[in-house]
Structure 1
Amino acid sequence: MDILWFLPTHGDGRYLGTSEGARAVDLSYLRQIAQAADSLGYYGVLLPTGRSCQDAWIAAATMIPVTERLRFLVALRPGVTSPTTAARMTSTFDRLSQGRLLLNVVTGGDPGEAEGDGIFLSHDERYAATAEFLAIYKRVLASETVDYEGKHLRVRGAKLLFPPLQRPHPPLYIGGSSPPAHAIAARDVDVYLTWGEPPEAVAAKVADVRRRAQELGRTVRFGLRVHIIVRETERAAWDAAEDLIRHLDDASIAAAQNAFANFESEGQRRMSALHGGRRDKLEVSPNLWAGVGLVRGGAGTALVGDPETVASRLRAYAALGIDTFILSGYPHLEEAYRVAELLFPLLPVSTAAKRNGAVDHNVTGPFGEIIGQRYAPKPLAATPRPPRAPDAQ
């Protein structure tokens, strides 16, 4: 599994929908999260995009010199940026980061935000423009000189003098639940992303994109974007989920849901339909909780439970063909550690350091405070977890 974390450039805190327990997301805080993800062995971090966020490219670029291995999943915005400008940005970032760039193709689902950026296209037209964008963008990054004339875009003699380090281009990711999104995923990208829907819904989307790709002679990988609320016991995890939304009132939920209703995103519609704005039936599938989506757009579900249960749910998604997991939790700094410490030992994580009894403590440890200023703590593998009493959900 490639497990990524999240840089919350739109804000962070202990609770949703309130300023209580909120944090200033400044350079120092983002650096702390990025360095934690880097040292803990996360494959990379996703940066959100849109007018509610700080700019993803600039934020990611500031993290290059303070991290070593961490990759950055940054948004490409067809219609907002020209394909040739985006190609130069891509190449520069990829070269300066030594090949640590990943690219998230975002068409945008909020008409109001799109119009603010000068985009006055319908949902399907935005995907048509995205297809034209990628046709130019990928060829330019492959060092071709490109002449192209489409309905939405036109270039003549487009070229790139400094190619990216990753050839022919850094990996491309895309989300989207509509047929046009699936068509682009099958034809143009490397990884198709879905938000955390119940497994049967995810399976249907994976099957459709895989079928479309096979018809084109292509293979696409698959990823899941979901929040995580993991604690040492099941009861503690569900208590943490309820605590996350304890400051939400009905007016805040209604305002958020009214805003989301104006989106043209099929994925957002599906997220909102999971809970219908109601707080009384938020567990929409075993251990899949839709409380985050009451006020947060985009990814609105969380896997909730003890480490063994959450790991089992993630493995169930992996069995559907998912190999990339983009996780997050509130607050993002502390939860980056919690997820890595509780879940990584239970999962086939691609890059995480193995912090267990096989670690050479003369080189990398010991881990934990020295006991009595004399004795190193026993390795984790030598300290089994006590049996867990069953908890009511």
Structure 2
Amino acid sequence: MTSHPIRFGVWAPVHGNRAAFQDPREPYDASWQRNRRLVLQAEELGFDTTLIAQHTINPHGEMDQLEAWSAAAALAEATSRIELITAIKPYLFHPVVLAKMALQIEAISEGRFAINLVNAWNRPELAKAGIGFAEHDERYAYGREWIEVVSRLTEGERLTFKGRFFAIEDYELWPKDIWRTRPRIYVGGESEPARDLVARWGDVWFINGQALPDVRQLIADVARRERRGRPVRFGLSAFVIARPTRREAEEELAHLMELAALDAPLRAIQRANTDPAVVMTQTMAKSPRVGTNGGTAAGLVGSYDEVASRILAFHHEGIETFMLQFQPLERELQRFAAEIMPRVRRARAALGNLDVKEEA
């Protein structure tokens, strides 16, 4: 079992519901007001972190979409404890500009900000903007240079850098990060280039939701790669359906599957716009599921005791941060905080580790 404490996070509803858009219990709402309310609720309930995914246009079509980085800056002021992880697609921001923005939000949040590097899969977002959509491995080559520039600048270095994509000369950002070395860097993606990138520059690797044996193999692969600095830490995306009994949880899963089927035309738009080389699409095709980024494939569907036990099983294999999805979101956040968090704490206490929060 990892020596790091368990941390619970929630995906912000930046493009509405994660399981099904046509759910009468949760009308579609990707507004700033709802995202702010949700993150403040999560903080109050004891969640440790939130992930603000970045899209400039909604991947499902002509629907509302929150802008991640301006929202992150506002949330940094509105919150007091929760970590704010904000995703970034490197082609959308020059690394010098992004590094400056990251340091500013780090200052506003007083050391609670983090970057989630994702190398893009939604073709129209870049192609329609005239930026161009490079092939998969070329995007990762660009991303490696990009994150090196961002990392070194946010660490306070006076940087001169010459690569294939960037030429930075004698550049330094002020003020420096007074809270720590730099904002934490999370990396998504499971392809070979993604694993190399996280081993070199990432602090935490976000794994898409999937079965425990597959997660175990992924962790082992990245953990043995050559690396500078401290070992990589690991996070997992998962959709949670927890109920008093397994039967009730399975009934809710079946209900969400029926609702999700109504979104077939929207999902078809997303599939048509997605780069088929992205490993996430292959992972999600392994089994029926609801939710994004693997969703219920992680198996956090069952009774309260079963879900808590499965979380601990993933933690035993090295998962520290659980980035969770729910529907209906606000109600299920409360249920998770009331029923699952205490069970995990008790189990950890029985193992001699009382802390399920982020260490200083």
Fold agreement, TM-score > 0.5? yes
Range moving further from structure 2, 334-343 or 4-13: 4-13
Q: Which has the larger radius of gyration?
A: 1
Whole-angstrom distance in 1 between the partners of 2:13 and 2:247: 27
Instruction: Tell me if 1:123 matches 2:136.
Output: yes
Shift of 1:246: 2.1
Unaligned 5+ segments in structure 2 are 1-5, 59-64, 346-354
Corresponding residue for residue 150 of structure 1: 163
Whole-angstrom distance in 2 between the partners of 1:28 and 1:262: 32
Identity %: 29
Instruction: Tell me if 1:342 matches 2:342.
Output: no
Say whether the 8 Å CA contact 2:90–2:143 is kept in structure 1. yes
Corresponding residue for residue 313 of structure 1: 310
User: CA separation of 1:252/1:140 partners in 2, compared to 1, >3 Å: closer, same or farther?
Assistant: same
Corresponding residue for residue 240 of structure 1: 252
Which structure would you say has the larger RCO, counting Cα contacts within 8 Å and 6 or more residues apart? 2
Corresponding residue for residue 362 of structure 1: none
Shift of 1:145: 1.6
Instruction: Tell me if 1:34 matches 2:39.
Output: yes
Instruction: Tell me if 1:164 matches 2:177.
Output: yes
Letter in 2 for 1:16: A
Unaligned 5+ segments in structure 1 are 276-281, 283-289, 353-393
Corresponding residue for residue 269 of structure 1: 282
User: CA separation of 1:319/1:256 partners in 2, compared to 1, >3 Å: closer, same or farther?
Assistant: farther
User: What SS is found at the alignment partner of 2:121?
Assistant: coil
Whole-angstrom distance in 1 between the partners of 2:173 and 2:71: 24
Range moving further from structure 2, 334-343 or 55-64: 55-64
The alignment of Structure 1 onto Structure 2 pairs a total of residues equal to: 332
Corresponding residue for residue 186 of structure 2: 173
User: CA separation of 1:261/1:119 partners in 2, compared to 1, >3 Å: closer, same or farther?
Assistant: closer
User: CA separation of 1:251/1:140 partners in 2, compared to 1, >3 Å: closer, same or farther?
Assistant: closer
Corresponding residue for residue 349 of structure 2: none
Q: Deviations over 1:258-313 (max 9, x none)?
A: 436644311222212x13xxxxxx3xxxxxxx233xxx5x3433521111001111
2:329 maps to which of 319, 329, 332: 332
Whole-angstrom distance in 2 between the partners of 1:250 and 1:331: 16
Letter in 1 for 2:290: G
Whole-angstrom distance in 2 between the partners of 1:4 and 1:77: 21
Letter in 1 for 2:318: G
User: CA separation of 1:328/1:153 partners in 2, compared to 1, >3 Å: closer, same or farther?
Assistant: same
Whole-angstrom distance in 1 between the partners of 2:277 and 2:124: 10
1:300 maps to which of 295, 299, 311: 295
1:341-360 mapped onto 2 (5 Å cutoff): 341-348=338-345, 350-351=356-357
Shift of 1:316: 1.1
Corresponding residue for residue 291 of structure 1: 290
Whole-angstrom distance in 2 between the partners of 1:262 and 1:338: 36
4+ residue runs over 4 A deviation: none
TM-score by length of 1: 0.79
User: What SS is found at the alignment partner of 1:351?
Assistant: coil
Shift of 1:314: 1.0
Shift of 1:158: 1.8
TM-score by length of 2: 0.85
Corresponding residue for residue 16 of structure 1: 20
Say whether the 8 Å CA contact 1:33–1:336 is kept in structure 2. no
User: What SS is found at the alignment partner of 1:169?
Assistant: coil
Whole-angstrom distance in 2 between the partners of 1:56 and 1:263: 25
Whole-angstrom distance in 2 between the partners of 1:337 and 1:299: 22
Corresponding residue for residue 224 of structure 1: 236
User: What SS is found at the alignment partner of 2:224?
Assistant: helix
